[in-house]
Structure 1
Amino acid sequence: MSLEALRVNKGMTQQDVADRLGVSRNTVIKWESGEVKPKELVIYALAKLYEVDLDMMRVPV
């Protein structure tokens, strides 16, 4: 699933994710659009936040 789909499935806004991870909303937008690829540690944190296995996550390249 895409990062955006995972977020929406959890009922979270981009600002919710930004607040939980200590980044700006703009950073979350860039991750979801594929403009910026999140670092491995961030991908792990997103998987934990969205309560999915890493295998479920499709990160834009």
Structure 2
Amino acid sequence: MRNLKAYRTHIGKTQKEVADYLGIERSTYAKYENGSSEPTFDTLRRLSEYFNTSVDELMGFEETRPVPSTMDKAAIKAAFWGGEKDLSQEDLEDMWNDVERFAAFLAEKKRQEKGHD
């Protein structure tokens, strides 16, 4: 289960938090991560829902990038500014306005491209 740890750390969760969600001991979940034990299919299904991915990806059959299960404005803003998290409220508002303008620009560009097809 080589992808479990990547997914867990990507969303900032501890082994205990994931284990609590599954209703199992942390040590059992740790065994899933290190490959010394295999989860049941039902547990795999629940993990895929928790990490917002497919069972195939968790098993390593598909190669995709871990995606956070939730995206909020703060995460998008921080990512847009290279991961900087200590921004003032004014900085965040300015950045969000830039993101909105960029999204409008992309939408207009797509509309223009469709018009030329």
1:38 paired residue number = 39
Match of 1:17 in 2: 18
Moved over 2 A (4+): none
Structure 2: gaps of 5 or more residues? 61-117
Q: Structure 1 residue 58: deviation in Å?
A: 2.7
Instruction: Answer with 1 or 2: which has the greater Rg.
Output: 2
Task: Say whether 1:58 aligns with 2:65.
Answer: no
Corresponding letter in the other structure for 1:31: Y
User: When the two structures are superposed, what TM-score results if normalisation uses the length of structure 1?
Assistant: 0.86
> How high is the sequence identity, in percent, across the aligned residues?
32
TM-score if structure 2 supplies the norm length?
0.47
Rounded Cα–Cα distance in structure 1 between residues aligned with 2:55 and 2:23: 21
- In structure 1, runs of 5+ residues without a counterpart are none
Give the deviation of 1:55 after TM superposition: 2.6
C-alpha RMSD of the superposition: 1.4
